[in-house]
Amino acid sequence: MRRRASSSRQTTLKATYTKLLFSWEEMTQEMRHIEEENNCIFIEAYGLQDELTPDVPLKEITLTCNPHYRYGGDKTEEELEALLLADTMREFLSYAAGCMFGRYSLDKPGLILANQGDTLIEYLQQVPEPSFMPNQDNVIPVLDGDWFTDDITERFRQFLRVTFGEAYYEENLAFIEAALGKNIRKYFLKDFYNDHVRRYKKRPIYWLFSSPKGSFNALIYLHRYRPDTVSVVLQYLRDFRKKLAARLDYLQQVGISPSTSQSEKTRAQKEIDTIKKQLLELDDYERDTLYPLATAQIALDLDDGVKVNYLKLGPALKKIVGLDAKGED
């Protein structure tokens, strides 16, 4: 989707996707036509008219934009279209995350920040007046609520407004969420990192710091990692804990207020119990994992590869099943 954004972008995301889908279908049919012409030449050259036909099934046109090849099986056209739409929206969100970190830019094609230790200084040298400014500290919270104004959900909302405008923002957001089958925050919290790990075949370039039960999560971009990056993550954790503590105080006041109904007290108590567990989880995560790493100021070398470097930060990061298997690069 990124490669054709400038020529395909329409007023709304739906219209853009429709135009893009049409171009993909044309591309697939063109490739099919070329392969069938080649088959005709081969069949005629070797006199195989009675044994072979030049026809090429759609599922054999090996383009990822061809859902018949990409998903295969005996799925209906509607099922194939739904799968392709959902995956395209996931790719759009992945591209958005890349723009948040400065890996990509809306204003310049190709990779922008892709060298170890790159910062916004290098970004602004290539894109002096960005229409969408990347994250400054290379840490983006991924949480279950509006706890930070610069969390990944809010940053994506800004990105969507910049790319397709304010006038159609709600329509575009609804289109994405309908394609994904869930709201944006839930997707980023539950699915985004798993999709990213699969896309990069267990060698992710965005890394997710995650407390044991996932109450706190924050993404970083590997190529912008610095020895003090974990300290920045730690500060976000502490800020989040303060916000949770403030919320806890408020709920406790609600619980003892004579003007509070019984149903409101019940809801407040349920949230109180949840927050208390979260605070204990965050305390343990800081004490046992994040603080020791922050003080260690661990340096990474991209030449060592993702596997070696990921394991250096150990339990601070979300576990990737199979990453530590022997025999893998």
**pLDDT digit string, tens, across residues 185-242:** 999 999 999 999 999 999 999 999 999 999 999 999 999 999 999 999 999 999 999 9
pLDDT of residue 3: 38
Question: Could you tell me the pLDDT band of residue 7, with boundaries at 50, 70 and 90?
Answer: low
pLDDT at position 318: 97
Q: Cα(96)–Cα(90) distance, rounded to whole angstroms?
A: 10
Query: What average pLDDT does the structure give for the chain?
Result: 93
What six digits make up the tokens of 214? 């996932």
Tokens encoding 298: 């661990």
Confidence bin at 322 (pLDDT 50/70/90)? confident
Spell out where the chain has E strands. 140-141, 206-210, 217-221
Evaluate whether 217 touches 262 at the Cβ level (below 8 Å).
no
Gap between the Cα atoms of 131 and 153, Å rounded: 18
Contact between 1 and 88 under an 8 Å Cβ cutoff? The reply is: yes
Return the pLDDT at 114.
95
* Per-residue exposure over 198-215, b if at least 16 CB sit within 10 Å of its own CB, e if not: eeeeebbbbbbbbbeebb
Tell me the C-alpha distance between 119 and 224, whole Å: 6
Confidence at residue 254, expressed as pLDDT on a 0 to 100 scale: 86
* The pLDDT value given to residue 15: 95
Q: Are 23 and 3 in contact (CB under 8 A)?
A: no
Residues 104, 111: Cα–Cα separation, whole Å? 5
| pLDDT for res 8 | 64
Q: Does the model's pTM come out above 0.95?
A: no
Calpha distance 305→25 (Å, rounded): 38
What angle in degrees, to the nearest 10, is found between the helix axes of 77-101 and 192-199? 90
Task: Copy the structure tokens of residue 303.
Answer: 């030449």
Distance of CA 140 to the CA centre of its chain: 11
Residue 31 has pLDDT above 80, yes or no: yes
Q: Give dist(CA 40, CA 44) in Å, integer.
A: 6
Compare 10 and 238 and report the one with higher pLDDT: 238
Is residue 12's pLDDT more than 90?
A: yes
Strand locations in 184-299, DSSP E?
Answer: 206-210, 217-221
Q: How many CB atoms lie within 10 A of CB 53?
A: 11
User: In whole angstroms, what is the distance from residue 176 CA to residue 184 CA?
Assistant: 8
With cut-offs at 50, 70 and 90, classify the pLDDT of residue 5.
very low
